[in-house]
Amino acid sequence: MSVPQPHHDERPRHLSDRREQVVGQTAMPQLQRDVRRRVLTLVNPRSGLPWSFSAFRAAMDKVWDVGGTELYYQFCKSVADGVEKARRAVDEGVDIVLVAGGDGTVSTVGRVLVGTRVLLGVIPAGSGNGFARHFGIPLSPARAARALAEAIPVAIDVGVVNGLPFLVTCSMAWDAAVARSFQKMPVRGILPYVFAGVQELLGYKPQPVEVIVDASEKLFFEDPLVLTVANLTQFGGGALIAPKARPDDGLLELVVALRQDIPKLVANAGRLFNGTIDRIPEVIMRRFRTLDVLRKEPAPIQIDGELFDAPSETHVRVMPSALRVLVPKPGKLG
């Protein structure tokens, strides 16, 4: 199965597209004899960093530019650019890649680091920041930098949908369509995301879906409104779509809600944010290692905040302990 290269516009990408733009390479600095680790900070200049780059760099340098560390910075000018720079970092022996951006940028870089020894650290600067929220990484860049400087390395699971790795969530119903409208919004944040959801809900037409869980249990949904696979607890913005998801248990979580249950779901919307959505009887949940999703027609799916065109048959699986990440120590949140 080929791996797509997404780009940042409102058009869905194709899971069969292998084309990739290769950008000009920037040489990494030469190591000094006393350098014990190399740290690359990849910054998405279109993300929601609250400061100028110079202010961000000053905050980073304060805690990361220390003896024994070679610290340098690069910008992600595009998705392909971020992929190329992450690959080059792996090839040239970088120890840690810090990503300043949203879940889409984190996922783009993280896919390259899957199966390598390179550690991923996240400085949240997006709209939802589901990855950072799950692991308790402070949303302030300065506090995040301090927390990650004393963080511990852990190995986490990675989801794979039709050959494409994802770190946070993958959605295949109305919850995927929301990403299409959100990408068109001129501003980011929770309120625009809500507006995008309402806009898509008004015209959304569910299609029947059959799922096969771990090649054994078959489920049929006539009109799914939410059909999300979660690797982590967070949808983003504090919404806990899978409150019991764990990043290191070798399992993913399927979350399904039907359009016919909208009144009950709306009445219990608060449960999405207090971690009790799994207590709503109408919400169906399954934990699994493999999942086959059979839809009547091809339709876009959302993968870590990015929209991709996908065929009617979709296969999802988990890769246990496939990515090494930096997680703040308890009580060390910057």
Query: Same structural domain for residues 176 and 313?
Result: yes
Looking at residue 1, its pLDDT comes to: 43
Whether residue 214 contacts residue 290, with contact meaning beta carbons closer than 8 Å, is answered with: yes
| Domain around 288 | 164-320
Q: What is the CATH number of the domain that holds 201?
A: 2.60.200.40
Q: What is the average per-residue pLDDT within 117-142?
A: 93
Between 81 and 176, the more confident residue is 81
Residue with tokens 């402070």: 138
Supply 297's token pair. Answer: 């027609």
Distance, CA of 87 to CA of 91 (rounded, Å): 6
pLDDT at 182: 46
pLDDT of residue 201: 52
CATH number at 104 reads: 3.40.50.10330
* Predicted pLDDT of residue 34: 54
Q: Are residues 124 and 236 in the same domain?
A: no
Are both 133 and 189 inside the same structural domain?
A: no
Q: What is the DSSP letter of 222?
A: S
Classify residue 144: in a domain, yes or no.
Answer: yes
Phi-psi region of 299 (alpha: psi -120 to 50; beta: other; left: phi over 0): beta
When divided into structural domains, the chain yields a total of 2
The more confidently predicted of residues 128 and 155 is: 155
- Is there a single domain that holds both residue 40 and residue 148? yes
Residue 334 lies in a domain: no
Same domain, 67 and 179: no
Residues 170, 153 within the same domain: no
pLDDT in tens, 77-120: 899 999 999 999 999 999 999 999 999 999 999 999 999 999 99
Distance CA(164)–CA(111), nearest Å, equals 8
- Specify the pLDDT at position 334: 55
In tens, the pLDDT along 228-268 reads 999 999 987 888 999 999 999 999 999 999 988 878 887 88
* Length of the chain in terms of residues written: 334
